[in-house]
Amino acid sequence: MASVIYAYSIKASFSLNLFGIEYQVERVNNFLEIIFKKILEEELTIEEIQEAFEMGVLTSKELVMYYFNRIAKYDQSGPKLNSILEINPDAIFIAEGLDHERKTKGARGPLHGIPVLLKDNIETKDRMHTSAGTLALENHLSTKDAFLVRKLREAGAVIIGKTNMTELANGMSTTMWAGYSSRGGQTLNPYGPGEFFVGGSSSGSAVAVAANFTVLSIGTETDASILSPAIQNSVVGIKPTVGLISRSGTVPFTYTQDTPGPLARTVTDAAILLGALTNVDSSDPATYKSEGVSYQDYTSFLDSEGLKGARIGVFRNASENYYRESDEYDEDLFNDAVQAIRRKGAEVVEGIEIPSFNREWSWGVPIYEMKHALGNYLSQLPSHLPVHSDKELIEFNKKNEENALKYGQNMLEYRQGLPDNRLTNPEYLNAKLEDLYFSQEQGIDYALKKYNLDTILFPSYIGSTICAKAGYPSIAVPAGYMENGRPFGITFAGGTFSEGTLIKLAYSFEQSTKYRKSPLLNKEVH
């Protein structure tokens, strides 16, 4: 980008109104126009932002101010997308400090000064609360940063706030609408506020990225909680191998399937964020196996010709007729995506079988593990908070029924009534073993080996459950829009720690198709 900018640079003087302040610009020129046009009307990538920082035409402080302005205009008023639950009151000070550090010591890396939002179930040791969307924890100030938050701060990222989410990561009620929490209300899809489905529990994180309220965000997934909102809101979402990113410091749903993951507008930005989050954490045994097979930089996998020669298994044999007949699926758009992959030189293998895919999966693991994991988490909270067990949480919600129980709490009540809290129940133990066997040996691993595949391609996020139970990675990327404007996407899935391969394939697809369009509200900024 730089060479193009310098080649066409000319001296210029023009006025710029930014955040209501009139600037008289008498510096380099065309580049300034490009940068501010992109930031105000389109969307900047990490690379473009860092170049603007280095040239001195943009600061991290100005970027944070810009996002606060957009949040005020479109998230908290206007269409009221309601994706932001809380703002970091120190964000501007942090950005100023990082601007100063850049001038005096240089940049730490690609995330230096870059705004990031966190899902509200990720702990931060600052002035923000961590509530997982519940009213009971709305005053919870953590005494520690989550491991991934420490990694972000070390990388120089500016954590600007917390995002709304489905309350307790959809562990509250079977009738609760996705993207709703008692503390934050309902998150809306920017491509059709009040019209289109907003996606799984990391909906606030996906919407905030899609609507350009931040550069990057972090979500968490147990099953489809990153992939679903990424698809629904036309952004890139990476659900990594369980153990690639530490879960310590996140409000848990399960021990077996939970994982944080990046959300971004491009595969490149998602890859940059992923690399900043990986490392072995002594507090999370799942990360031990990542030593030697994880990367701190996934950008080396970004290859625009990455699909050439790759073997892509296309999975169409889903029994979920409700999905094919729903308004989430578009056969033509999926076929278009497959053809685009074929045109890039991939060897497309149609008609692949995954023996266990259509089995009736047991929900014994999340049912029992949430009771145990959430109970442990609540028991360690400070004494001044109103709840320290699932029983106390249920009672608190009943006492505050008008505000806390719009959709009830039948899932919490069911778990509270389970016979023990020691994870010794035969239903749980058998489900845990069966999940691993059928999702791995008779699932993803079976198909990859039988057809000699680099990846399995799923329409939308229908492969989320089998990948979640296997603990295997997936990456969701935009793949067009339906006639009514609703986003559609595809998912590349692979075996354990195959993130690099998936990023390579997804990047090649993204670069060859350029499907993603920003929602209309982005184009209303002048």
Distance CA 179, CA 189 (A): 9
> In this model, does residue 1 exceed pLDDT 80?
no
State whether residue 356 is helix, strand or coil: coil
pLDDT digits (tens, 9 = 90+) for 263-283: 999 999 999 999 999 999 999
34 — pLDDT class (breaks 50, 70, 90) = low
421 — pLDDT class (breaks 50, 70, 90) = confident
pLDDT value for 6 = 31
Calculate what percentage of the chain has a pLDDT beyond 90.
86
40 — pLDDT class (breaks 50, 70, 90) = low
In degrees, rounded to 5, the angle at the alpha carbon of residue 269 between the alpha carbons of residues 124 and 2 is 125
Task: Look at 396 and 6; give whichever has higher pLDDT.
Answer: 396
57 — pLDDT class (breaks 50, 70, 90) = confident
The verdict on whether 105 is a catalytic residue reads: no
7 — pLDDT class (breaks 50, 70, 90) = very low
> In this model, does residue 10 exceed pLDDT 50?
no
Which residue bears the tokens 């990367």? 295
pLDDT value for 526 = 32
> In this model, does residue 9 exceed pLDDT 50?
no
Active-site position among 60, 173, 201, 205: 201
Active-site position among 119, 162, 371, 504: 119
Homologous superfamily (CATH) for 67-290? Amidase signature (AS) domain (3.90.1300.10)
pLDDT value for 33 = 54
> In this model, does residue 334 exceed pLDDT 50?
yes
pLDDT value for 318 = 73
Among 63, 64, 87, 88, smallest CA distance to 75 is for 87
Per the CB < 8 A criterion, the answer to whether 226 and 239 are in contact is yes
pLDDT value for 380 = 97
Sequence-distant (6+) residues with CB within 8 A of 382 are: 140, 143
Among 491, 83, 474, 490, smallest CA distance to 259 is for 474
Mean pLDDT of 507-514: 98
521 — pLDDT class (breaks 50, 70, 90) = confident
Residue 122 Cα distances to 36, 47, 138, 461, angstroms: 32, 26, 13, 24
27 — pLDDT class (breaks 50, 70, 90) = very low
Three-state SS for 452-480 is: CCCEEEEECCCCHHHHHHHCCCEEEEEEE
> In this model, does residue 201 exceed pLDDT 80?
yes
Sequence spans of domains, the chain: 1-41, 67-290, 311-361+430-513, 364-428
pLDDT digits (tens, 9 = 90+) for 232-267: 999 999 999 999 999 999 999 999 999 999 999 999
pLDDT value for 279 = 97
Which residues is 25 bridged to in the sheet?
14
pLDDT value for 42 = 65
The verdict on whether 294 is a catalytic residue reads: no
pTM for this entry: 0.93
Say if strands 115-119 and 216-221 run parallel, antiparallel, or are unpaired. parallel
Distance CA 219, CA 117 (A): 9
Q: Both tokens of residue 359?
A: 């089995």
pLDDT digits (tens, 9 = 90+) for 383-420: 999 999 999 999 999 999 999 999 999 999 999 888 87
Per the CB < 8 A criterion, the answer to whether 268 and 46 are in contact is yes
Active-site position among 182, 203, 225, 498: 225
Return the amino acid letter for 502.
L
pLDDT digits (tens, 9 = 90+) for 472-491: 999 999 999 999 999 999 99
The verdict on whether 504 is a catalytic residue reads: no
> In this model, does residue 18 exceed pLDDT 90?
no
> In this model, does residue 423 exceed pLDDT 60?
yes
DSSP 167: G
Mean pLDDT of 344-369: 95
